[in-house]
Amino acid sequence: MDLPVDKVESTRASGPAAEGKRTRTYREALREALAQAMERDSRVFVAGQGVDDPGAVFGTTKGLAERFGRQRVFDTPIAENGITGIMIGAALAGMRPVLVHMRMDFLPMSMDQIVNHAAKWRFMFGGRVNVPLTIRCIIGRGWGAAAQHSQSLQALFVHIPGLKVVMPSTPYDAKGLLLASIADENPVIFVEHRWLFDQSGYVPEEEYVIPIGKGVIRRKGRDATVVAISHMAYEACKAAESLEKDGIDIEIIDPRSLSPLDDELIFDSVKKTGRLIIADTGWKNCGVGAEIAARVASDALGYLKAPIRRIATADTPTPCSFELEKEFYPSSEDIIFTVKELLNKSPLSPQPYRR
């Protein structure tokens, strides 16, 4: 597919500068991408629990069933594994399905079809077939969603060769990455964050793709590199504003895609700043932060002036009580604290594992 590739330098939390330009929310950007993909390509269809109901998956599929018909936008039984397999079968037979889950917590139900089938089908069969399947899923935060309605399980999927994993944090990237995922010949796990749905920013009307595997520098800086994933990119931008008042200048990298990962972008930044913090929406233990830290330790250790730090959710299941949630979730405060701490550290000072 020949969609124009994004060339916009996006150095702000909300994506490329929006002044005087067309703005849309993250949710509208997702809906627009789906509508445009379906409009252009009759192979694209959208299935999932509630995609055609009044809630329309937090509004992200609103109006699509009416516009494209219930053959192409349809509700499914609550049978995640079977439905995932059915989408894979449809993809093998020439369709380009978009499967939607209200929560990422439901993906473990379909682990067999995602991990043992979708991820393997191309390699195991010597490249003779491929599975162009997009699996949209949503992570949330807060309001007592608790342990089964809040999980950021991206690390589970990043671990699996054959899958791609993307986590857009701006409306601009949400549209460009969703179009890229649908156009991709491989299964893509597309992870959205509910706290981003109302954010608005520049979103061009025409179709464009953000190449999967290309990160972006959200803010240039010299004192420390903060690799911030999904919603944590916003927290990092908030932290940057506050740190600036203290004369501290951080560089924020939003990888956008976790698999493949734009590690060159991260290495280059670390070589410049000498300090690295990874802020993830998921857990610390064997999380995405651990992988990024390991790659930097392998390829850019000599440039580090301080230990690498990971900011992540506590290694416990998600609690309900808002008092416990405050302890569980990291925020801009954690980033500010950690940056300041690192500026006073030598590379060999010990790093406590727990926050």
For another protein, the binding residues (CB under 8 A) are 45, 71-72, 76-77, 79, 81-95, 112-113, 116-117, 121-129, 161-162, 164, 185-186
Based on CB atoms, which residue is closest to another protein, 260 or 347? Answer: 260
Spacing of C-alpha 168 from chain mean position:
4
- Report, in Å, the least distance between residue 137 CB and another protein: 19
Choosing from 80, 192, 207, 325, which is the catalytic residue? Answer: 80
Decide: 321 and 304 in contact? Cβ < 8 Å: no
Tokens encoding 197 = 């749905």
- Report, in Å, the least distance between residue 300 CB and another protein: 24
Decide: 67 and 51 in contact? Cβ < 8 Å: no
- Report, in Å, the least distance between residue 185 CB and another protein: 8
Tokens encoding 241 = 């504003």
Is 206 a catalytic site residue?
no
Closest CA to 221 of 281, 298, 275, 261: 275
> N- to C-terminal Cα distance for the chain?
45
- Report, in Å, the least distance between residue 229 CB and another protein: 21
Based on CB atoms, which residue is closest to another protein, 47 or 145? Answer: 47
- Report, in Å, the least distance between residue 52 CB and another protein: 14
Based on CB atoms, which residue is closest to another protein, 70 or 222? Answer: 70
Its sign, for the CA torsion 73, 78, 84, 85, is negative
- Report, in Å, the least distance between residue 112 CB and another protein: 6
Is 80 a catalytic site residue?
yes
Tokens encoding 221 = 């800086």
* Residues 255, 182, 280: CA angle, nearest 5 degrees: 25
Based on CB atoms, which residue is closest to another protein, 79 or 294? Answer: 79
Tokens encoding 15 = 């994506």
Specify the amino acid at residue 204: P
Based on CB atoms, which residue is closest to another protein, 48 or 201? Answer: 48
Decide: 282 and 306 in contact? Cβ < 8 Å: no
Non-local (6+) Cβ contacts of 15 within 8 A are 170, 171, 172, 173, 201, 202
Based on CB atoms, which residue is closest to another protein, 185 or 333? Answer: 185
Strand order of the β-sheet with 257-259 is: 73-74, 44-48, 96-101, 134-139, 188-193, 164-166, 257-259
Choosing from 9, 19, 101, 149, which is the catalytic residue? Answer: 149
Based on CB atoms, which residue is closest to another protein, 123 or 143? Answer: 123
Name the strand (E) or helix (H) holding 156.
helix 154-158
- Report, in Å, the least distance between residue 106 CB and another protein: 14
Angle of helix 171-183 relative to helix 26-40, nearest 10 degrees, comes to 30
Going by the DSSP 8-state scheme, the letter that residue 168 receives in this structure is -
The whole-angstrom separation of Cα 196 and Cα 345 is 34
Residues classed as catalytic: 80, 149
